[in-house]
Amino acid sequence: MMDTMRTMRRRAIHDACSSLISPAPYKSTIAKSVPIDAGHASLLRAEKVTHAPISNVAISGVLWPEDAAKLYELAYFCRDDILELGTKFGLSTVILAEANRAGGYASTVYTVDIVPKYTAAAKRNAESAGIANVVAETSDAAAWLDNGISANRRFGLAFVDHAHDYENVKAIAERLDTLLLPGSYVIFHDFLDRRNDDPADTDYGVWQGAADGLADDFTFIGIYGCAGLFARS
């Protein structure tokens, strides 16, 4: 029974990845009307996202408007803490934090990167954006999650954007079973990327790692930009 559910989910993901070209269009998941607010609108009208949606601070990095708008929407409606794996300069971190604040919540965005200089840069960028609800830490992502499990941490949203190979993504997906609350969401960046389907490219296996690692109560919702979204029941 379990195997059948997982096989069906894998087939649905495979079919979606085969039929879409990145960036896949943005469609609302939770919001009743779009844009949600001015910050969301600023992301949706950008050609490429290179600035924070509300403070307009420029942050190195680039996201599709479709990815960024989905992150904004999920964080805007997230009442629990938010987890991000793969901080870099903090562009997605600040989008998540500004959106959550705009939604009226005061959740903390925990972001993790293995490279100390990125943690430091993201902290500076969050400060420039006037954001206080970010905790940026330097660690390997899976090791950080193991500590989080021991510390009984729980999250309402996770954005996975660190390593893109099958084993690393699967290791994270398996740990989310413990860390994500019922009703939460997880979104994987670079889920829709041709490199995932090239058996010779061992650096990529995002959708496969997510499909094999997530527990059966994570339902595949869809793809926005290049990011794949799952909801936990």
Ligand X SMILES: C[S@@+](CC[C@H](N)C(=O)[O-])C[C@H]1O[C@@H](n2cnc3c(N)ncnc32)[C@H](O)[C@@H]1O
* Window of 4-12, 80-88, 198-206, 215-223 that interacts with ligand X by CB under 6 A: 80-88
Nearer to ligand X, 9 or 42 (CB): 42
Q: Candidates 161, 173, 211, 232: give the one binding ligand X (CB under 6 A).
A: 161
From 143, 73, 133, 90, select the one nearest 108 (Cα to Cα): 133
- As a whole number of angstroms, the distance between CA 225 and CA 25 comes to 6
Burial class (CB in 10 A: 0-12, 13-18, 19+), 10: middle
CB of 43 to ligand X, least distance (A): 13
191 binds ligand X (CB under 6 A): no
Cβ neighbours around 179 below 10 Å, total: 19
Contact 108, 148 (CB under 8 A): no
CB of 170 to ligand X, least distance (A): 13
CB of 33 to ligand X, least distance (A): 26
CB of 115 to ligand X, least distance (A): 4
Cβ neighbours around 142 below 10 Å, total: 17
Contact 189, 224 (CB under 8 A): no
* Window of 83-91, 129-137, 178-186, 217-225 that interacts with ligand X by CB under 6 A: 83-91
> Which amino acid does the sequence have at 177?
D
Site for ligand X in 135-154 (CB under 6 A): 140-141
Nearer to ligand X, 109 or 180 (CB): 109
Cβ neighbours around 184 below 10 Å, total: 23
- Residue with the two structure tokens 């195997």: 3
Phi-psi region of 214 (alpha: psi -120 to 50; beta: other; left: phi over 0): beta
Q: Candidates 66, 73, 98, 113: give the one binding ligand X (CB under 6 A).
A: 113
Nearer to ligand X, 40 or 88 (CB): 88
Q: Candidates 63, 121, 126, 192: give the one binding ligand X (CB under 6 A).
A: 63
Q: Candidates 17, 54, 112, 158: give the one binding ligand X (CB under 6 A).
A: 112
**Cis amide leading into 35 (omega within 30):** yes
Q: Which residues bind ligand X (CB under 6 A)?
A: 61, 63, 85-86, 88-89, 91-92, 112-115, 118, 140-141, 161-163, 168
